[in-house]
Amino acid sequence: MFRRVVADRGLLALAGLVLASTIGRFALSRGVEAPWIAPDEQLYALLGRSLLAGDGLRILGAPEPYYSLAYPLVVGLPFVWSGLHAGVTQVQAAQALLMSATAIPVFFWTRPLANGRWALAAAALTALIPGLTYSGLFMSEALYYPVATLAVWTLARCLQKPTLARQGLLLTAVAVALATRLQAVGFVLVLPGAIAILALSERSLVALRRMAPTLGGLGLFAIAWVGSRIVTGRADELLGAYATLARAGEYSVADVLQSLAWQTGALVLFTIAVPLVALGVLTWETIRGREQDAGVRVLAATAVTYLTVTVVEVSVFASRFIDHVTERQLLSVAPPLFVALAVWMYRGVPRPQPFTSLLALCVAASALLLPLGRITAKAIYADSPSLIALERISAHLPQSSFQAGYAIAIGAVILLAVLLPRRSAPALAVLVACALAAASLVASREIRDRSQTERERSFAGAPPSWIDANGGSDVTLLLTGARFWPSAWETLFWNESVRRVVRMPGVESPRILAELVAAPRPDGGLVTSRGDLLRAPYVAAPNTVSIVGDRVAAIPASFEQSGMSLWRVDGPITIASRVVGLKPNGDLYGRAHAWIRVFACAPGHLELTVLGKEGLPTRVLTEGTVRAQRAVAPGKVWRPTIAAPASADGSSVCDFRLESDGLVGTTRVEFVRE
C-alpha cells in the first residue's frame, strides 16, 4: 500500500509538472506573432490547412515535396473549426501540451533506473529547455521532440526485453517519427549501433538475434520504399523535399568535419555540459563490461548511439545549408541525456579516473574552441534559442570581457562536474535547471520581440488579413522585389483569398512557390514566358507599382519596406507605372538614383514633390538629358513637373531618372496623363 501511495504521489507530481509547463509555455507564447520563421512556419501551416481541407499536401493548388505528414495534420486541425487568429492560439496551446508531455516518457524511463525524485528531476529538465520556445511557433520540432523521445525510449525498452509486441511498438514509433520529420531516417543507424554497443558490453550476440524481427522489418521497409521510388520513376524523391541532401558530390569533408566540431560544441552549451559527462561515464562503464544493471546498459547504448547519429546527421546537413550552429535539429538529443544525468546523480556521481577528467577536458574543449561569432549572431534566434542569452550578453559587454567570462563559466561548470564532493552533487542538477530556466525566459522574450518586429515590418500595424478584410476574392499577389521575400509567405498565410502568386523576373525567390514568372509588355500587360496575358479580378501589389484599375485598400510602408495596395481589375493585369530605388519612406540617399517607368506612355507629365534635407543638387532626367534641377534647401519643398518625351504615343515605355548628390525625400511620384 505504501509503495502504491508513493507511486501515486510521483504520478501526481508528474501530472502537475506537465500541467504547469503547459500553462507556462502557453503564457510565454501569447506575445509571439506566429507564424514568424519564413518560409518554414507558413509552409507547415498552409500544408496543414490544405491537408485537412481534403486537397492533400498542396499550396495554391500545386503539390509540394514531402516535408512531413503528421505535423501538418497537428497544426491544420484547429483551422477546421476556427478562424486564422483563433487557430493560431489553439495551435500554440496544443503544442505547449505536446512539448511539455515529453516529460512523461522521460519520467517512466528514469524511474526504474533511479527513483521517483530523480525521475521527476529528469522530467523537469526536459520541460525547462529553451527549445520548448518552439511550442509558440509553427515548427515541426514541437511534435518531433515528444515523438522522437518516445521512439528512443521504446527502443530502450525493446532492447531490454525484446518481445514481439515491443518490437512492433518500436517499428510503429519509428514510423510515426518518420511521418513527423525525415530526420528520423537516422533510426536506421541508431538501432544497429545500439545493438552493437549492447553486444559489446554483454560480450554476447543475444541482443542481435532477439532483435532480428525489427532489423528485418526495417530492411523490408527500406527495400519497399526504394523499390517503389524506382518503379514509379521517382528515385530522386527518396528524401522528399530533402532530395538535394543525397548529392554526395556537393559535400566537402573539411566542411563536414568543421560543422561536426561546431555542432558538438554547441551541444555542450545546449545541455550545460554536465549531462554529457554523466552519459560518458555510464557508457564507459558499460563498454568495459562493468555495468551490472541491464537497464543502465541499455540506456547508455541507446542514448550514446542516438546522440552520435543525430549529431553527425545534423552536421552533414548544416555543412551545406547553415553557417552557424543549429539547436532545433539536435533538440531531441536532450531528454536521453537528462535520463543519464538523473541515473548518474542517483548513483552518487561516480567519476572513474582518469577517464572522467579526460572526458571533461574534451567536453570543455569542444565548447571553448567554438568560434564565438557562430553562437552570438542574431541569425541564431530562429535556430538556437538556447544561445540567445549568450548573444544578448555579448551585445552588452566588450568582446574581451565576454570571451573571458565565457571561458571562465565553461571551466567552472566542468570543474564542478569533476571535483564537487558527492554530498553536494545534487547542486549540479540545480545548476543545470537554473541555467536552462534562465535561458528559456530570455529566449521567449526575445523571440516574442523579434516576431512582433517582423509583423510590424510586414504590415505596419495593419491587420495581417487586410486583403480578406477588404473583400478580396481570387486575388493575385504580385512580387516586384520592393518587399522582402518573407512578406509573400506571411501575406499568403493570413489571406485565404490569395489564389495565385506572380513574380517579376529577377525577384528573389529563395523557395519555390506555386508561382508564375511574368514580365510587363510596353503597354504594361503582364505576360508569362509563353506569352499568356494574365487576368485576375483583384491584384495585391507593393505601392511602388500602380495597377490599371481601382485601388480598394492599402497598408502603409513600414520602417523597412514598401506598403501594399489591393486593386480591383477589369480585364488583364496591367501595370501603369513602377518606381524603383526609393526607400520605403520615399527617401533617396546621396549619389544614388531612382527611376520611374511609365508603361503605355502617352502625352502627360511626371509630378514630383521633393523635400530638401541636405541642400545638395537634385536632378530629373529623361533619355539621358537633365529636364529639371535644383539644390533644395533643408526644410524646403520642390515640385517639378516633367513632360513626357515628344515620342510618347501610348505604345512604348517612358523612363524618368531621379538622382541627387545628397539626401532628399519624396512624398509624391505620379505620372498624370493628359
pLDDT at 1 over 50: no
From residue 349, give the alpha-carbon distance in Å to each of 283, 296, 419, 427. Answer: 14, 14, 10, 12
Q: How far apart are CA 484 and CA 559, in angstroms?
A: 12
- Grid look-up 514541437 returns 142
pLDDT at 12 over 90: yes
Higher pLDDT, 307 or 5: 307
Q: What is the pLDDT of residue 67?
A: 84
271: exposed, middle or buried (C-beta count within 10 Å: 0-12, 13-18, 19+)? buried
Regarding beta strands 538-542 and 475-479, do their DSSP bridges make them parallel or antiparallel, or are they unpaired? parallel
Q: How far apart are CA 474 and CA 619, in angstroms?
A: 42
DSSP summary character for residue 532: P
Q: What is the pLDDT of residue 507?
A: 86
Indicate yes or no: pTM above 0.85.
Answer: yes
Number of other CB atoms surrounding residue 660 within 10 Å: 25
DSSP summary character for residue 246: G
pLDDT digits (tens, 9 = 90+) for 469-498: 999 999 999 999 999 989 999 999 999 999
Over range 207-236, report the average pLDDT: 67
Q: What is the pLDDT of residue 49?
A: 93
The dihedral over CA atoms of 208, 209, 213, 214, expressed in degrees to the nearest 10, equals -10
Phi, psi of 373 (to 5 degrees): -65, -25
The dihedral over CA atoms of 144, 145, 148, 150, expressed in degrees to the nearest 10, equals -120
Contact 7, 116 (CB under 8 A): yes
Break the chain into its structural domains and give their ranges.
1-139, 155-246, 247-450, 466-577, 592-673
Give 277's pLDDT tier (boundaries 50, 70, 90): very high
Q: Which three cell numbers stand for residue 34?
A: 506566429
The dihedral over CA atoms of 63, 68, 72, 75, expressed in degrees to the nearest 10, equals -150
**DSSP H or E run through 108:** helix 103-110
The dihedral over CA atoms of 449, 452, 457, 459, expressed in degrees to the nearest 10, equals -170
Which stretches of 234-305 are assigned E, i.e. beta strand? Answer: none
pLDDT digits (tens, 9 = 90+) for 84-105: 999 999 999 999 999 999 999 9
Contact 537, 573 (CB under 8 A): no
Give 7's pLDDT tier (boundaries 50, 70, 90): low
- Grid look-up 531621379 returns 658
Higher pLDDT, 639 or 647: 639
Short-list 144, 233, 159, CA closest to 201: 159
pLDDT at 235 over 50: no
Regarding beta strands 475-479 and 545-547, do their DSSP bridges make them parallel or antiparallel, or are they unpaired? unpaired
Q: Which three cell numbers stand for residue 79?
A: 483551422
Q: Is 592-673 in CATH node 2.60.120.260? A: yes
Q: SS3 helix, strand, coil % of the chain, rounded to 5?
A: 55, 15, 30
Q: Which three cell numbers stand for residue 177?
A: 517519427
pLDDT at 2 over 50: no
**Percent of the chain, pLDDT > 70?**
94
Which stretches of 474-536 are assigned E, i.e. beta strand? Answer: 475-479, 498-503, 515-520, 526-528
Q: Which three cell numbers stand for residue 86?
A: 483563433
pLDDT at 653 over 90: yes
- Grid look-up 513626357 returns 644
